[in-house]
Structure 1
Amino acid sequence: MAAVPESQETIIPLIDTSETQTKTEPDDDTIVDLTLSRFETFLRLFGFCQYSFWSFSLSWLIFLLVVVALPVLLIVVFHCPSCDKYQIKSFELEILVCQSLVAAVSLLCISHNLRKYGVRRFLFVDRYHGHMTQFHDEYIQKIHDFFRLLLVWLLPCYLLKTAREITRVFYVPQDSWWKSVVVLFAYLVPWMYSNVIFLSGSCLFNLVCNLQVIHFDNYGKLLEMDIDVSAYIEEHIRLTHYLSKISHRFRIYLLLQLLLVTASQFVVLLDTTENSRIINLINGGDFVVSSIVELVGVIICLQAAAKISHRAQGLASVASRWHALVTCSSGDPSQSGIDNETENLETSYPAGSLPINYSETDIESLDYVPMPTNTQLASYMSLYHKREAFVIYMQSNFGGATIYGWRIDRALINTIFFVELSLVLFVLGKTITFTTA
């Protein structure tokens, strides 16, 4: 993936947080640092933090041994010859290939970004950008939500996988009970490791998007501050700039995950519809579990991308509402100046008594109509045009998370759904046929 110029990383937001920093307790930064350190420890434990050659080699060596070599060894060694009629071995190998590929893509893309930017810059919580102190509570909460989201989706899938493996142990008994227990754990450990890596990548993209949602939600409060319109524009440019960075860093990941999950689902569909043999929990149970995990990962990514795109597009309506409220506000000092000027004009020249010389042409008669020249009117009109230009700018720059130019919003998600549904119906039409006598 192409690198973003480092000069763009030094953009300083225009919101002055000096008052917030003086009011914040001294240990707030320490709490955020501790939370980020624990988060980085979790990423390091599963091999995402490949900061050196040795950590890179160790991470991929463990991945190949645990996720690929160990399951293949178990499938070959503990294969049941009497189970060939159910095609358990071929099904398990196909599922292993799909799980390994999606986990490898997650590990490759996330570790590349972490190695290039580090945890702070990758999550956009760098204190030098001026926002970490102001939003430290929200940052900590979002990081905790990362672990909660991972646990909520991983635990039910793990229970399903455990139930399937226990059924397998009873169906394919070993020589002794301890050997059956060892085989059970030997199947569960690689599955857990690979799916934690896969779902962690999806949850990490969700975390990055949610951290930026904090700033998009705060933009409405920024409009309540009495600052220059150019400051609002520059703050919006900063937000869209960060959003474009997120899209750039995750575009390969999102595209590959979508393609690989789609391909694996078609493998499942073809194996279950073209197979003339019995499909039951023993040979087809892993298809169900793996499909659920992969679809959950894609849904987490699409939901986060659609959410931040919705926030970015909603700023235009927020700016329009703010412009209308400020313009129509009777408490505007500039507006009061216009009201006073209008009142003076009506007092000097009552209705129907404007001096018009009918002996001159119509164009010359316009010279007798007094035009307002108050400086407050000019100042008010200047502010009005600035706000109007700001609203036009917001309406013309929706922003949002993108994949190579395609904005990830509800329209794209609906398109993906109908394309996938069409492909599924096409495969079903080619594999399932009904004959009449």
Structure 2
Amino acid sequence: MNSSKPNNTSIDIEPSNRRVSFAENNPNEELPSHQLQPLNNTVPLLLQPSYARSKSMIFDELRNFRISLKWCALDHSSCVGKLISYVTFIFFTILVPLLTSIFVEIPSSSPEDDPFSFNKLVQLPESGLAVISFFTISSFFRRYGLRQLLFLDALQEDTNYVRRGYARELEKAFRYLTYIILPSFLVELVHKIIFFSAVKISGPNITPGFPLNSIVFVLVLVCWVYRTGVFLLVCVLFRLTCELQKLRFEGVHKLFEGCGSEAGVIFKEHVRIRRQLWVTSHRYRFFIIGCVVTITVSQLGALLLVLASNSHKTFFNSGDIVICSAVQLSGFFMCILGAARITHRAQGIVAIATRWHMLVTTASAESEHCKSQVSEGLASDTDSDDSSNIHVSVIPPQLSSFQTRQTLITYLQHNHGGITVYGYSLDRGLLHTLFAFEFSLVLWILSKVVVLSK
């Protein structure tokens, strides 16, 4: 026997980087210089191995969320933060709107129409949406935390494509919030300047004057920013969750592009996505239903009040309704369109999987056809004694692969739902149903207003 040097090859698995490296156990061999260097700080956080931690660092992709939570007094990371959060919520959601409705009134000498019937109507849905959003966020932070709410801890099982895309979505999240709040705030600012220049503060032991009007003016503006920001923040969180699942479905679509993809890998990935879609639906179902009911009642009530009122409609007495409706519908459509988009992706995966199954089956059939032609050519060149030993048969692994793919198609056909609310999928069909329902209510209100006017 030839003496051979023992094999000293070892497998070094580094759990923190989730990377496998092969190296010879040579004590005299030095490691390359690039392995001794620390991880580049310019790499995005979601692409670094440390993203699987349970706590957020000071400088990461969640800094905008934490800054916004602190400015909106929604930081529940400590007992003091919770106390400040609840006190701020009660003050700006209940006390300020209530005191404004009671003590602010228009002078009798003012030529403007009374705007307070419209103003009181606007206060109810704005405070209602703020209450729903605040308790939704409070329950999220009490049960999950921000990282688990955004599924950052589950990104360790995703590809670089999903992590890079999600990092970009985190950076763009607050742009949508700015696009809605900033124009609405400018219009609200102009309206409140006109509004408080024509009203007075009246009450027991209250001396009306410019300083008091200025204080109430600032409080009303901060109250509007707080209630609007809390509502839109939950909408942004929901949209971010939908965008993550959208990126994961795009990753599944990439698995269907090649003929070498395994059905078992696709099945496991789809089961993981389905699990997170179910969790997302369960977390936001109360918020979605509450928003649908509140916005529907608000819009129809505003329509009925505006049509039934005989006063002249101006920006002074109707500006609050316009701003409130714009913010409500913008946040609502941000949620509904995000849910409908991800549900459409989930339902479309069946067609993609069927096409992939057809391509793989056709490629396998063509491969078998070529093998049979080669076998027949070899059989014609051999003697008659050896030709009886040549035969063509179906390879069992290929037949098993066909059955596995067929089973995967059947599974996808029965599990193609996306975001659901108590079993009802938030897809384009539901959007059409909601539009038909709302349009029917609008026509009913118009008919009642026409009858009453006669």
TM over 0.5: yes
Identity of aligned residues (%): 28
**What amino acid is aligned across from residue 292 of structure 2 in structure 1?**
L
Distance 1:192 1:306 in 2: 28
Q: Does structure 2 retain, via aligned residues, the 8 Å contact 1:86–1:283?
A: yes
Which residue is equivalent to 1:298? 332
Please state how far the C-alpha of 1:280 moved relative to its aligned partner: 2.0
Is 2:239 the partner of 1:206? yes
**What amino acid is aligned across from residue 212 of structure 1 in structure 2?**
Q
Which residue is equivalent to 2:222? 189
Which residue is equivalent to 2:421? 403
Distance 2:224 2:434 in 1: 28
Map Cα deviations across residues 179-233 of structure 1 (whole Å, 9 max, x no partner): 5544432321111111011111111111111122111111122333845321211
Distance 2:160 2:73 in 1: 30
Map Cα deviations across residues 99-119 of structure 1 (whole Å, 9 max, x no partner): 101011011112212220111
**Of 390, 406, 429, which residue of structure 1 is paired with 2:447?**
429
Map Cα deviations across residues 79-115 of structure 1 (whole Å, 9 max, x no partner): 2242698342332222112110101101111221222
Distance 1:435 1:286 in 2: 25
Which residue is equivalent to 1:165? 192
Which residue is equivalent to 1:228? 262
Secondary structure at 2:401's aligned position in 1? helix
**What amino acid is aligned across from residue 427 of structure 1 in structure 2?**
I
Please state how far the C-alpha of 1:427 moved relative to its aligned partner: 1.2
Aligned residues: 396
**Of 339, 364, 367, which residue of structure 1 is paired with 2:370?**
339
| TM-score normalized by the length of structure 2 | 0.78
Secondary structure at 1:421's aligned position in 2? helix
**Of 82, 99, 122, which residue of structure 2 is paired with 1:73?**
99
Distance 2:126 2:283 in 1: 23
**Of 121, 125, 139, which residue of structure 2 is paired with 1:98?**
125
**What amino acid is aligned across from residue 162 of structure 1 in structure 2?**
L
Which residue is equivalent to 1:417? 435
Secondary structure at 1:35's aligned position in 2? coil
Task: Decide which moves more: 248-257 or 127-136.
Answer: 127-136
Task: Decide which moves more: 414-423 or 110-119.
Answer: 110-119
User: Pairwise mapping of residues 137-156 of structure 1 onto structure 2 (< 5 A)?
Assistant: 137-156=164-183
Question: Cα 1:435–1:147, aligned 2, differ >3 Å: closer, same or farther?
Answer: closer
Please state how far the C-alpha of 1:425 moved relative to its aligned partner: 0.9
Structure number with the bigger relative contact order (C-alpha 8 A, sep ≥ 6) is: 1
Which residue is equivalent to 2:65? 39
Task: Output the aligned Cα RMSD.
Answer: 3.2
Task: Decide which moves more: 133-142 or 170-179.
Answer: 170-179
Please state how far the C-alpha of 1:372 moved relative to its aligned partner: 6.3
Which residue is equivalent to 1:121? 148
Secondary structure at 1:391's aligned position in 2? helix
**Of 199, 216, 230, which residue of structure 1 is paired with 2:249?**
216
Distance 1:265 1:61 in 2: 29
**What amino acid is aligned across from residue 251 of structure 2 in structure 1?**
N
Secondary structure at 2:145's aligned position in 1? helix
Secondary structure at 2:152's aligned position in 1? coil
Please state how far the C-alpha of 1:60 moved relative to its aligned partner: 1.8
**What amino acid is aligned across from residue 132 of structure 2 in structure 1?**
V
Q: Does structure 2 retain, via aligned residues, the 8 Å contact 1:17–1:130?
A: no
Please state how far the C-alpha of 1:66 moved relative to its aligned partner: 1.9
Map Cα deviations across residues 320-361 of structure 1 (whole Å, 9 max, x no partner): 2222222233xx5x8534532355469879xxxxxxxxxxxx
Map Cα deviations across residues 272-303 of structure 1 (whole Å, 9 max, x no partner): 12222333222211111111111111111101
Question: Cα 1:233–1:91, aligned 2, differ >3 Å: closer, same or farther?
Answer: same
**What amino acid is aligned across from residue 138 of structure 1 in structure 2?**
G
Question: Cα 1:372–1:166, aligned 2, differ >3 Å: closer, same or farther?
Answer: farther
Distance 2:156 2:213 in 1: 55
| TM-score normalized by the length of structure 1 | 0.81
For structure 1, which runs of at least 5 residues remain unmatched after alignment?
1-15, 350-369
**What amino acid is aligned across from residue 351 of structure 2 in structure 1?**
S
